[in-house]
Amino acid sequence: MNTHDANVYRRTLTSGTISVTRHKGVAALESLFDIAERRNPKRAFLFVSKVLGRHIPVSPTIMRSVFRQLSELFPQDLPGPVLFIGMAETAVGLGAGVFDELRERVGDPVYLTSTRHPVDGELLCEFKEAHSHATDHLLYLPADPEMRRRVQQAQTVVLIDDEATTGNTFINLLAALRDDGGLTSLRQVVTVTLTDWSHDALEAGCPLPVHSLSLVSGQWSWEPVPDAPVPVMPQVNVTATGTFAPSSKQTWGRLGMMKPAADLAPDVTVQPGEKILVLGTGEFVWEPFLLAERLEAMGAEVKYSSTTRSPIATGFAIQSALSFTDNYGLGIPNFVYNVAHQSFDRILLCAETPAESIDALLLTGLKNVADSVEIITYE
């Protein structure tokens, strides 16, 4: 960072310089995010959250405090049912955390996540995230009758993502919910992000009242370096069924959630002070987070992070990377960032697919930084 103004963040990357200016919010910019270089020709930079538990391992206590801070920004008396939607893959856990903080405070709450892993169920709608490394999202209707009623009769929709840069993904999702999903009862929209650089784009393009909530909002600008090399993106833009199906225990949002199950690995115990990394995989991050939170409460020194299909260059916010193949059997490159340069007593790798779906390359990489690596599944 090459500036002394607390409201301005500037980082010079290989292909250009990103400048971020804060307009609202009190959190220190560098406490919320750092910048990395994407391996994506559509957008050269990535906001890497320091509080999300995705690309940088973080304490569950910090993550929970962020869920709480966001929940405290919510307006009172939102008309229910209230449908919360977390965006795959990055904000599946963030969305669940915000939902968890608010589910006792709003009428008829229900949580859904978008997904890139088709499951048995009735499709509610599809939408696009144009700048992403994986553009196609699916949203399913819950099979449970009460959850389905809450989705179909929702009067408030809460759209949750880690950050908004243009607002276009929210605009696309909202149009799909109303036009294709038949959610004609919607009366208002709440958007929730850690950082919002979208300049109220949704408000400008939305026929419904919008409340935009974030820890920090402002604007960004990008000055490209002329003739900078264009990055080559791995083939990660896949929305499909692989050889390893997700567990039938769809209790965390892909087919709806009304309250957390908190039933992953109930028998796992820890020693006080034990240094543990809990790793979620892909979209399976909420139940692993609850496990990490439980182990932290038992006295372990716990960090939480997740595997991802997001292709990011090392350097800047990314100090180390492990590369391997996804656990759904799709042959997609997957990554663990900022773990390989650390050390832990134990790593708990949590998956919604069978243990044999985990790439040996990932296990080898993790065993280089921990005395013990355990695969946690529902099976």
**pLDDT mean across residues, the chain:** 92
Percent of the chain with pLDDT over 70: 94
The pLDDT of residue 5 is 78
Least confident piece of the model among 62-66, 127-131, 206-210, 355-359: 127-131
The pLDDT of residue 237 is 65
The pLDDT of residue 135 is 65
Interval 83-136: pLDDT, tens: 999 999 999 999 999 999 999 999 999 999 999 999 999 999 998 765 555 568
Which residue would you say has higher pLDDT here, 99 or 219? 99
Average pLDDT of 63-86?
96
The pLDDT of residue 85 is 98
- What are phi and psi for residue 355, nearest 5 degrees? -55, -35
Average pLDDT of 191-214?
89
In this prediction, residue 2 has a pLDDT band, given cuts at 50, 70 and 90, of very low
Task: Assess whether pLDDT exceeds 90 at residue 204.
Answer: no
For residue 325, which of 348, 350, 358, 356 has the smallest C-alpha distance?
A: 358
Percent of the chain with pLDDT over 90: 75
Interval 285-328: pLDDT, tens: 999 999 999 999 999 999 999 999 988 999 999 999 999 999 99
The pLDDT of residue 15 is 86
Neighbours of 145 (CB within 10 A): 8
For residue 43, which of 140, 166, 184 has the smallest C-alpha distance?
A: 166
**Which of 181-208 are b and which e, b meaning 16 or more Cβ less than 10 Å from the residue's Cβ?**
bebeebebbbbbbbbbbbbebbbeebee
Interval 142-165: pLDDT, tens: 999 999 999 999 999 999 999 888
Average pLDDT of 67-92?
96
Least confident piece of the model among 12-26, 110-124, 131-145, 230-244: 230-244
The pLDDT of residue 46 is 87
Average pLDDT of 41-58?
90
**Measuring CA to CA, how many Å separate 75 from each of 90, 100, 171, 183?**
25, 16, 21, 22
Task: Assess whether pLDDT exceeds 80 at residue 4.
Answer: no
Task: Assess whether pLDDT exceeds 90 at residue 351.
Answer: yes
Which residue would you say has higher pLDDT here, 233 or 161? 161
Pairing status of strand 109-113 against strand 163-164: unpaired
Task: Assess whether pLDDT exceeds 70 at residue 3.
Answer: no
